């Protein structure tokens, strides 16, 4: 049903209880509203009829909304005008700061001789040393021997013909092995370190023990004749000395360089190759016992075994004047096995039995002439009257000397083996273990007491004892005359020849015995 909209609106008002409410003909003015649009809307609504449905009951009229309130805008505050000189002062200060920073950075580059970041913190000397140690061992683990060469001390580099010779030696030495990991031990500042290969002393060095885990890459099918150290080399590659020293290179700042390379050093434990090359070298190995003055009434045997300190010094002086270089057994085997070069006129000086005069006389004179020596020790007798003590042996070792085994009880190894192979093996194994435990160095050299079984033993006995030496981890062994000579053979490392120095004869006999 169609209604006039005014009548309908008023009727709806009565029905909802809102009576006497006239239909609005005008609307209150709203802020910002266009009045013409409102009037048009009112006129239009009066002309158009519409349907009105019944509105629900309303309990009461809803309250009118609150009147619109225009927000109050705070007045704009005008600041005082800044002085004209203030920006100029700020600009000058900024310019001074920037210019000073540039000068300081330029001076830093000039002092360091290279580029640097002004934000890079400076490393302490200890941190720089550790950085070099890490670089060296990381390169070694990766078998980057060129990098190793670049980190060596210049004095160590001089011991090699050139970089190529050093790299070739390292490659031949570790070609059959895989490196797994390395660890550093507790570092120690030391006043001096002596290079046993040159007997040169270096001051203010950092000693860092290094342990290396390594294995044969391809172990052979038959390992019965291999030394345990070849099969399980990690045991002897423990706490090897990495010695580094801070030095000034030409035209550069101070840098740390490596003197002794831990497992990469030529004096690290020797790992004999699975198939040794055929190599012979002329290296005299001199055999001494006592360096001691004996009365003329002493027995002929005692007189033959004792070289007086005066005689010994004459012999050392002769060797020095003729350009002989005392070498270590490591140097000998590095040359026999891996092609390392030897100095001109190499010689090895050995001293049997570990007497007190080995420390008081032999060691003292060796140091005076800059020579190293090998001292073969009877472990049961260490500290006995007339025998060297552990502290004396440690001092000798720290000052460039070498230590080897002369068995536990100084027994005839051939006779002992024939009586009890187990007892013979214990003589070898226990003497080595005792020396390593107390001196904290690998022991790889042995000397047959009285030269046996190579003076009077059968060939089969000699072969059996050699097999035990290999199994016990010895790399080389010296005999006593009987057989003598100066030619050392890579195929017979457990039968190294020596020349006996007899105290009953003068310098002329001594000089005639060596080339």
Q: Give the domain ranges of the chain.
A: 5-47, 125-264, 280-512
pLDDT of res. 270: 97
Strand partners, 352: 376
Contact 449, 415 (CB under 8 A): no
Contact 348, 332 (CB under 8 A): yes
Cβ neighbors of 463 (< 8 A, separation 6 or more) are: none
Q: How many residues can be counted in the chain? A: 515
Confidence of residue 163 (pLDDT cuts 50, 70, 90): very high
pLDDT, one tens digit per residue, over 191-211 is 999 999 999 999 999 999 999
pLDDT of res. 476: 97
pLDDT of res. 98: 52
CA 484 to the chain's CA centroid: 42
pLDDT, one tens digit per residue, over 227-255 is 888 888 999 999 999 999 999 877 677 89
For β-strands 499-500 and 285-288, DSSP reports them as: parallel
Report pTM. Answer: 0.77
Which uninterrupted H or E stretch holds 348? Answer: strand 346-353
Q: Which of 73-82, 117-126, 129-138 has the lowest mean pLDDT?
A: 73-82
Confidence of residue 125 (pLDDT cuts 50, 70, 90): confident
pLDDT of res. 76: 47
Question: CA dist 464 to 110, 127, 404, 417, 460, Å?
Answer: 69, 52, 21, 8, 6
For residue 23, pLDDT beyond 90: no
Residue listed under structure tokens 């005792």: 434
Show the beta-strand stretches assigned E in 49-200.
177-184, 188-194
At 68 the three-state DSSP class reads: coil
For residue 376, pLDDT beyond 50: yes
Cα gap 110→485, rounded to integer Å: 61
Dihedral in degrees, nearest 10, Cα atoms 356, 358, 364, 368: 170
Instruction: Judge: domain 280-512, CATH 3.20.20.370.
Output: yes
Measured in degrees and rounded to the nearest 5, phi and psi for residue 439 equal: -105, -15
Beta carbons within 10 angstroms of residue 62's beta carbon: 7
Task: Give, as one character, the DSSP assignment of residue 304.
Answer: H
Confidence of residue 24 (pLDDT cuts 50, 70, 90): very low
Residue of higher predicted confidence among 320 and 48: 320
pLDDT of res. 6: 44
pLDDT, one tens digit per residue, over 452-479 is 999 999 999 999 999 999 999 999 999 9
Contact 376, 351 (CB under 8 A): yes
> 125-264: what fold?
Nuclear Transport Factor 2; Chain: A, (3.10.450)
Beta carbons within 10 angstroms of residue 12's beta carbon: 16
Mean of per-residue pLDDT scores for the chain: 85
C-alpha angle 67-68-71 in degrees, rounded to nearest 5:
140
Handedness of CA 163, 165, 166, 168 (dihedral sign): positive
For residue 190, pLDDT beyond 90: yes
pLDDT > 90: what percent of the chain? 70
Q: Which of 61-65, 181-185, 269-273 has the lowest mean pLDDT?
A: 61-65
For residue 407, pLDDT beyond 50: yes
Mean pLDDT of 292-314: 96
Closest CA relative to residue 410, chosen from 451, 470, 370 = 451
Cα gap 370→196, rounded to integer Å: 9
pLDDT of res. 36: 54
Closest CA relative to residue 161, chosen from 341, 29, 406, 306 = 341
CA 358 to the chain's CA centroid: 34
Residue of higher predicted confidence among 12 and 466: 466
pLDDT of res. 112: 42
What's the Rg (C-alpha) of the chain?
Answer: 47
For residue 91, pLDDT beyond 80: no
For residue 439, pLDDT beyond 50: yes
For β-strands 374-377 and 346-353, DSSP reports them as: parallel
Q: Which of 35-44, 167-176, 186-195, 209-218 has the lowest mean pLDDT?
A: 35-44
Cα gap 22→72, rounded to integer Å: 36
Dihedral in degrees, nearest 10, Cα atoms 358, 359, 364, 367: 90
Contact 272, 230 (CB under 8 A): yes
pLDDT of res. 89: 57
Cα gap 203→189, rounded to integer Å: 10
Contact 177, 140 (CB under 8 A): no
pLDDT of res. 157: 97
pLDDT, one tens digit per residue, over 327-358 is 999 999 999 999 999 999 999 999 999 999 99
Mean pLDDT of 302-312: 97
pLDDT of res. 78: 47
Confidence of residue 60 (pLDDT cuts 50, 70, 90): very low
pLDDT of res. 84: 62
Cα gap 161→350, rounded to integer Å: 27
Q: Which of 115-119, 150-154, 348-352, 385-389 has the lowest mean pLDDT?
A: 115-119
């Amino acid at each position: 049903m169609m209604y006039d909209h005014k009548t309908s609106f008023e009727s709806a008002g009565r029905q909802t209880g809102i009576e006497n409410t006239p239909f609005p003909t005008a609307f209150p003015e709203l802020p910002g509203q266009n009045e013409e649009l409102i009037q048009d809307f009112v006129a239009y609504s009066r002309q158009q009829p519409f349907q009105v449905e019944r509105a629900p009951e309303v309990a009461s009229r809803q309250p009118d909304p609150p009147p619109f309130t225009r927000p109050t805008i705070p007045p704009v505050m005008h600041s005082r005008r800044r002085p004209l000189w203030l920006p100029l002062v700020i600009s000058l200060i900024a310019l001074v700061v920037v210019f000073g920073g540039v000068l300081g950075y330029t001076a830093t580059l000039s002092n360091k001789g290279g580029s640097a970041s002004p934000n890079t913190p400076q490393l302490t000397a200890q941190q720089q040393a550790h950085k070099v140690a890490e670089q060296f061992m990381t390169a070694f683990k990766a078998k980057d021997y060129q990098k190793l060469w670049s980190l060596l001390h210049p004095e160590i580099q001089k011991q090699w013909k050139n970089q190529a010779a050093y790299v070739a030696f390292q490659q031949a030495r570790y070609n059959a092995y895989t490196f797994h990991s390395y660890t550093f031990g507790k570092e120690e500042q030391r006043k001096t370190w002596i290079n046993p290969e040159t007997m040169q002393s270096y001051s203010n060095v950092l000693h860092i023990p290094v342990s290396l885990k390594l294995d044969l890459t391809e172990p052979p099918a038959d390992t019965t004749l291999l030394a345990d150290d070849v099969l399980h080399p990690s045991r002897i590659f423990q706490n090897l000395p990495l010695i580094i020293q801070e030095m000034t290179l030409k035209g550069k700042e101070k840098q740390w360089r490596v003197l002794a390379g831990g497992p990469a050093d030529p004096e690290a434990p020797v790992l004999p190759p699975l198939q040794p090359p055929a190599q012979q070298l002329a290296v005299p190995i001199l055999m001494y016992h006592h360096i001691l003055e004996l009365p003329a009434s002493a027995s002929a045997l005692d007189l033959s075994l004792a070289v007086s300190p005066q005689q010994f010094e004459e012999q050392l002086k002769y060797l020095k004047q003729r350009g002989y270089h005392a070498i270590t057994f490591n140097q000998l085997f590095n040359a026999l096995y891996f092609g390392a070069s030897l100095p001109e006129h190499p010689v090895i000086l050995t001293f049997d039995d570990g007497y007190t005069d080995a420390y008081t006389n032999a060691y003292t004179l060796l140091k005076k002439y800059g020579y190293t020596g090998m001292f073969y020790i009877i472990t049961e007798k260490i500290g006995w009257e007339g025998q060297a003590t552990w502290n004396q042996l440690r001092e000798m070792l720290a000052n460039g000397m070498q230590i080897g085994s002369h068995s536990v009880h100084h027994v005839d190894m051939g006779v002992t083996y024939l009586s009890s192979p187990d007892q013979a093996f214990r003589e070898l194994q226990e003497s080595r273990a005792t020396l390593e435990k107390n001196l904290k160095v690998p022991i790889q050299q042995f000397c047959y007491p009285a030269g046996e079984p190579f003076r009077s033993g059968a060939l089969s006995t000699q072969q059996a004892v050699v097999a035990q030496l290999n199994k016990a981890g010895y790399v080389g062994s010296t005999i006593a005359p009987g057989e003598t000579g100066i030619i050392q053979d890579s195929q017979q490392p457990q039968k190294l020849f020596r020349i006996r120095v007899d105290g009953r004869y003068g310098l002329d006999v001594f000089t005639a015995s060596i080339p």
